[in-house]
């Protein structure tokens, strides 16, 4: 089974959330005052042109509801003034994860800050999980 982690999307999100503009948009999204597509456009706009195509491709598979969960966790760190890190973890047993169509999100809250670790196999998500690609970032 070939496996490509979504590390670049998660790295982009982590780095972008350090930006005051993107952090403000994330706060507005979490508070329900900014639509998901507007937040994604802001996130995409924080990227160099060369990275935007990869970003869009990875969004096609990223579970939509997971974005909301990750940003809620980010909000905890933001409100507490703690650092936030979002990372991709290659599954130890990708076949098992793929068969279960599972996405695993681990949240580590410590004195060092907040870390979210995402483990999944691309294209192998539960059927009920909507993909962000359905939201379309750009026209």
**b/e code 84-94 from CB counts within 10 Å (16+ = b):** bbbebeebeeb
Q: pTM here?
A: 0.77
Each of the 139 residues of the chain gets a pLDDT tens digit; together they read 333 445 566 777 788 898 999 999 999 999 999 999 999 899 888 877 877 777 777 777 677 788 889 999 999 999 999 999 988 888 888 788 778 777 788 999 999 999 999 887 766 655 655 655 555 444 3
DSSP state string for the chain: ------HHHHHHHHHHTTSHHHHHHHHHHHTTSS-HHHHHHHHHHTS-HHHHHHHHHHHTTSBHHHHHHHHHHHHHHHHHT--EEEEE---SSHHHHHHHT-EEEEEEEETTEEEEEEEE-TT---TTSPBGGGG-S--
């Amino acid at each position: 089974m070939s496996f490509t982690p979504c590390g670049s999307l998660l790295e982009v999100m982590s780095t972008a959330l350090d930006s005051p503009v993107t952090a403000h948009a994330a706060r507005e999204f979490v508070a329900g005052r900014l639509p998901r597509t507007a937040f994604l456009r802001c996130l995409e706009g924080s990227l160099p042109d060369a990275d935007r195509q990869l970003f869009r491709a990875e969004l096609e598979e990223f579970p939509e509801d997971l974005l909301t969960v990750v940003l809620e966790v980010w909000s905890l760190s933001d409100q507490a003034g703690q650092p936030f890190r979002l990372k991709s973890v290659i599954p130890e047993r990708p076949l098992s994860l793929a068969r279960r169509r599972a996405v695993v999100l681990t949240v580590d809250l410590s004195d060092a800050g907040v870390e979210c670790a995402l483990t999944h196999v691309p294209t192998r998500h539960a059927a009920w999980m909507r993909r962000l690609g359905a939201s379309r970032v750009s026209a």
